């Protein structure tokens, strides 16, 4: 469910970094975060995004992960609840990815989001 109460489109999920999670813009929606795993104590998994900021993942899986992973889950006020983990390997160009999602969520958001999500 989106913050405004409409159904989230099937297969569509915003790609976020730490800045995208905080502020509640996408709160309640299924989102994707990609980052480098910093720590995982079974309760909380920390990912570092392309800006170097940290993202909190709750209820993580307790399995071995590659250095870079993608977590798809439910976005909360300042964390993401884990649903699915995708292994992305040990080499990933975080900088290029970060630039891309910043464009997606910023300058070119019209191309990616319906009007209600546009800032």
Query: Which of 10, 63, 96, 115 forms a contact with other proteins (CB under 8 A)?
Result: 96
* Contact present, 5 and 11 (Cβ < 8 Å): no
Instruction: Pick between residue 96 and residue 115 the one whose CB is nearest to other proteins.
Output: 96
Q: Check residue 76 for interaction with other proteins (CB under 8 A).
A: no
- Write the DSSP symbol of residue 99: H
- Scanning 9-17, 19-27, 46-54, 96-104 for contacts with other proteins by CB under 8 A, the matching segment is 96-104
Listed residue (35, 30, 16) closest to 82, CA to CA = 30
Report how far residue 23's alpha carbon sits from residue 39's, in angstroms, rounded to the nearest whole number. Answer: 24
Query: Which of 51, 77, 93, 116 forms a contact with other proteins (CB under 8 A)?
Result: 93
Listed residue (115, 45, 103, 4) closest to 33, CA to CA = 45
Q: Check residue 110 for interaction with other proteins (CB under 8 A).
A: no
Q: Check residue 29 for interaction with other proteins (CB under 8 A).
A: no
Report how far residue 24's alpha carbon sits from residue 27's, in angstroms, rounded to the nearest whole number. Answer: 5
Q: Check residue 100 for interaction with other proteins (CB under 8 A).
A: yes
Residues that bind other proteins (CB under 8 A): 93, 96, 99-100, 103
């Amino acid at each position: 469910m989106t913050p405004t109460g409409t159904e989230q489109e099937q297969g569509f999920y915003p790609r976020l970094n730490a800045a995208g999670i905080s502020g509640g813009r996408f709160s309640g929606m299924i989102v994707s975060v990609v980052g480098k795993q910093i720590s995982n104590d079974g309760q909380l998994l920390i990912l570092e995004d392309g800006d170097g900021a940290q993202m909190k993942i709750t209820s993580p899986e307790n399995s071995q992960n590659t250095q870079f992973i993608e977590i798809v889950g439910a976005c909360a006020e300042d964390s993401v609840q884990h649903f699915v983990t995708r292994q992305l390997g040990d080499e990933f160009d975080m900088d290029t990815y970060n630039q891309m999602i910043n464009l997606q969520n910023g300058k070119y958001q019209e191309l990616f989001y319906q009007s209600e999500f546009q800032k």
